[in-house]
Amino acid sequence: MSGKLVIGNWKMNTRSESAQALVAALLADPATNRDGVGVAAPAVYLAQVARQLEGGRIALASQDVSRYDADGAFTGETSAAMLADVGCRYALVGHSERRQYFAESNEALLRKMRNALAAGVTPVLCVGETLEQREGGQYLEVIRQQLAILAEIADGEYVVAYEPVWAIGTGKVASLEQIAEMHAFIKNWCLQNAGSSANIRVLYGGSVKAENAEAILATKNVDGALVGGASLSADSFRVICQAAGKLI
């Protein structure tokens, strides 16, 4: 495990044509067309993006995965096996927007993690506290509760993304001290409770931009970034990926 991992989370953005243009720009640039860079495209465009990425080095990620594991009557769902089938290497699990708008519980998230792992797709478990929880001093406890499902997973490679809810899409970035404290906390928790996952990667997400990427990525225990808004522009995403590429 070496090098930082940067994944662009496009969320519910792009259209067929703009997704194609964005991927074309990323493929044309050695700063982004390399190992350790990924894009999480909307489900409806995954197959299109997968075809375009063929022969390149950028990894494909999904923004979610179904909690149901077998094919069947689950209208609207996308299974882990389907994601693997179109070539997804990663699946985001438990993004705060999904926790907030779709009331995803730890129980559902554990099923999603297990389904992704069983299909050979690396889950990226997203955790993060709200502003209220941070200001109330409960932030470590909140993250501990969100991490708890990792203790239920016997084996398999996964990634954790720390995304403070108050820093997502707000332009407010957590301070380097806050990031360092939380990333150390997450790594220690995993070491003590999630056994074989001592090599776990912990990404930071929340208003990562071209201007702040290098300082964030150079912070201790930050193994990469999950980038929202700034990943929709090839120019800003490339600067972030370039900063990551300079660091081990």
**By CB under 6 A, residue 207 contacts ligand 13P:** yes
3-state SS, residue 39: strand
Is 127 strand, coil or helix?
strand
Q: Which of 164, 205, 224, 245 binds ligand 13P (CB under 6 A)?
A: 205
Catalytic site residue 163? Answer: yes
- Active site (annotated) includes residue 104: no
Nearest distance from C-beta of residue 52 to ligand 13P, angstroms: 22
Helical pair 234-246 and 16-27, crossing angle rounded to 10 deg: 40
Measured between alpha carbons, how far is residue 4 from residues 36, 119, 121, 140, 218 in Å?
A: 6, 24, 19, 24, 10
Catalytic residue among 97, 104, 163, 183: 163
Stretch that binds ligand 13P, among 31-39, 48-56, 68-76, 204-212 (CB under 6 A): 204-212
Q: What share of the chain is helix, strand, coil (3-state, %, to 5)?
A: 45, 15, 40
Distance of alpha carbon 62 from alpha carbon 41, whole angstroms: 6
Residue (of 232, 183, 182, 184) closest to 208 by Cα position: 232
Q: How many residues in the shown chain lie near ligand 13P by CB under 6 A?
A: 14
Choose between 59 and 69: whose C-beta lies nearer to ligand 13P: 59
163 binds ligand 13P (CB under 6 A): yes
Site string for ligand 13P, 37-76 (x = CB under 6 A): ----------------------------------------
**243 vs 17, 30, 181, 184, CA distance in Å?**
28, 13, 22, 21
**Residue 227 lies near ligand 13P (rule: CB under 6 A):** yes
Site for ligand 13P in 81-110 (CB under 6 A): 95
Q: Where are the alpha helices (DSSP H) in 156-233?
A: 176-193, 213-217
| 208 binds ligand 13P per the rule CB under 6 A | yes
Nearest approach, Cβ of residue 226 and ligand 13P (Å): 4
In the complex, the residues that contact ligand 13P under the rule CB under 6 A are 9, 95, 163, 168-169, 205-208, 226-230
